[in-house]
A and B are shown apart, each in its own frame.
Chain A
Amino acid sequence: MKRLTWGFTVLVALAALVWAGAPAVSQPKVVKIGDLGSKVGVFEGYGKYQTWGVQMAVEELNAKGGVLGHKIEVVSEDDETKPAPAVRKAEKLILQDDVKLLVGAVSSGATLAVMDVTKKHKTIHWNSVSCAEFMRTTKFHKYYFSNQPDSRMQANGLAKYIVDKMGKKVYIFYTDYAMGQSDGRQFKTALEKLGGEVVGVAGAPLDTKDFSPWFGAINQSNPDVLFVAFAGTDSLRLMTQLHSFGMTKKYKMAGIDCFLLQQDLASIAEPMEGFVQLNHFSPYNPDPNMQAYNARFKKKFGTDANIAAGSYDAVLFWAAAVEKAKSFDPDKVAEAHEGMCVDNTHIGRQCIRKEDHQVVMDMHLYQVKGGKNLPIARIAGSDSIGEAMVGKDPVEGFTWEIKKK
């Protein structure tokens, strides 16, 4: 009887051990990260590549054992390119999926709205596509980081080239919401500071179908350079229509980062010929780091990389910060980010500025030749980033008024 009890006790103890130990042995710990962006609509291409960038970084990190001993899982959500669904999906990712990092959104309007959510729930938030100017100034919060050159960085980088090499009389045509307005403001400010003359400005709503009603005013202003701040399918339509009215040949053309994905360039190579664009990635850049990154991307997805480089780097920065903090605690991870440098980004070593959490990224100016973005100049991140202006309006006292010369 005694032996039976003893045997039973051992059996129970063994069973308890197996039950308690099993999950720990067969299932590694998991940490989730959220990917929020446009999967439909005018910016759907950007949302798709943001997801691919995140997936590639996660795959590489998981192959090396994940982060802090946790396997990383990606949860992707569509924000329909609108602020309200973006907020809803961000809440879902944070409260339901318990993501420790949120990457997104694509449209600046959506990202600005999501910033309130990540601030409220203390969630690390990386933006790698949106470029409105207020995210690292008036809307800035402790948990927000960005490696997307914002309007101010782009304006600082591109305006000098336009005034020096392309022409002094510039017409600014922008998409009339957060991103385009921000680009328009910053470019007008930068151009006028450098002695350029803004001869006209106009905004067209997001997702405009026919741009021709705006062309009369552009022709009337007779600029040297037509500067366009659009993105996604808007850019495709705009360039096709400008070209059919002979305006791509009549004016020198320049545009913002994100104006067109490299993938779309081939289909409108002729209208885009000669177009000068600031960009943080091109498969035709001979930079060895970019080439190595592109080779890995192409092997995985069968196409050249593009803005996907941004979300890829963002996940690497976050993982490095978590390792440094030795914790997923958002306050500790946010502090670990500040001033941190990472060596293996798509362009090599990059650092995060402590004051406004902006990555000091080198950018390139590209010119389209035969459907390819060929680099024409490199602009150091330190030259374009400008002073940190947390809590301040970056273009205080700005006016759209055209100064007649």
Chain B
Amino acid sequence: MDYLVAVLLPQLLHGLVFGAALGLLALGLTVIFGLLGVMNFAHGELYMLGAYAGIAVVGVTHSFWTALIVAPLAVGAIGAVTEVVTLRPLYRREPLYGLILTFGLALVFREAVRQIWGGDMRRIQPPVTGSTPLLGMVYPNYRLFLLAASSILLLAIWLFFTKTRAGILVRAAVQDAEMLDGLGVNVPRVFTLTFAGSAALAALAGLLLAPIFTVYPQMGVEMILLAFIVVILGGMGSMGGSVVAALVIGLAQSLLTLWMNPQRVAIAIFALMIVVLIVRPRGFFGREGVLE
């Protein structure tokens, strides 16, 4: 019982907290892939931009909560402009063009941030401090808040895609954009808004994780690798798959650290991705044919 509470429970919570936040990032990535057919290499930089936009807003307003609203909107707007100006002209070309373009965008965003804010690590103070005693162990309040916030967001996104007309339109566009176009829907606008929404979601994840991971220009690169693994495991383009895979990765990572050094766990997770790519390229929940 002691072992369960003192050792396993905190690890399970770590896994859920990290998995849920990772889910937010991966969800945007998988939606963009499903809809636009683009593997967005700049997604990690949108996550990073969220954290820096948060620093800027906190600097002016001294309020993390205001930043939590303003920063994702600002990054969403950057996402919309990026989609219209750079990605849209490439939709009819080979997917490789989009890949190279987003790779370039990632470099542009990262270096721009370095120019503006410098390369030093920055901290954002968590808006919620202190710890809560939980079944005999102690857990930081901010991480509990993070778990709650991510869960609510994931639920809201699920409701959006299943219950609202806009959400159903996006899903329809993922299935068959040409047919939707034929039915009179403004598909380019759906594309732009979806890209902006995914960017805002990435920014939100960046800002929510900033008080734990700190803020630096490279932060997106480290996260995007994990997000790619999540998307591949969950099945490229599968939203539910991404959320499940994110939680599985989060939990696996935190539980495996009980028996091996976290650096080796990272290797194990990459190895798992390679195996899945070879044996079952569509991932756990992916549609047949996306990568086969």
Contact = CB atoms under 8 A, between A and B. Distances in A.
A246 B262 contact: no
A9 interface: no
B142 to A, nearest CB: 8
A215 B10 contact: yes
Contacts of B10: 215-216, 219, 245
Interface residues of A, number: 24
A220 B263 contact: no
A220 B254 contact: no
B212 interface: yes
B7 A219 contact: yes
Nearest to A244: B140
Contacts of B213: 209-210
Contacts of A209: 212-214
Interface string A243-271: 01110000000000000000000000000
B117 to A, nearest CB: 14
Contacts of B138: 244-246
Interface residues of B, number: 28
Given A40-B120, A209-B212, A209-B213, A216 B7 contact: yes
A166 B257 CA distance: 27
Interface in B250-292: 253-255, 257-259, 261-263, 265
A216 B11 contact: yes
Residue of B121, B133, B139 ringed by the most chain A CB atoms within 10 A: B121
Interface string A203-233: 1110101101111110110100000000001
A202 interface: yes
A213 B14 contact: yes
B121 A233 contact: yes
A76 B103 CA distance: 39
A3 B254 CA distance: 100
A241 to B, nearest CB: 8
B166 interface: no
Nearest to B126: A244
A217 B14 CA distance: 13
Interface of B: 3, 6-7, 10-11, 14, 120-121, 131, 133, 137-140, 142, 212-214, 253-255, 257-259, 261-263, 265
16 contacts: A40-B120, A203-B261, A205-B263, A212-B14, A213-B257, A214-B257, A216-B10, A216-B11, A216-B257, A217-B259, A219-B6, A220-B3, A220-B7, A220-B258, A245-B138, A245-B140
Interface of A: 40-41, 176, 202-205, 207, 209-210, 212-217, 219-220, 222, 233, 237, 244-246
In the A-B complex, the 6 residue pairs with the smallest Cβ-Cβ separation, listed nearest first, are A246-B138, A244-B140, A213-B262, A216-B11, A209-B213, A213-B257
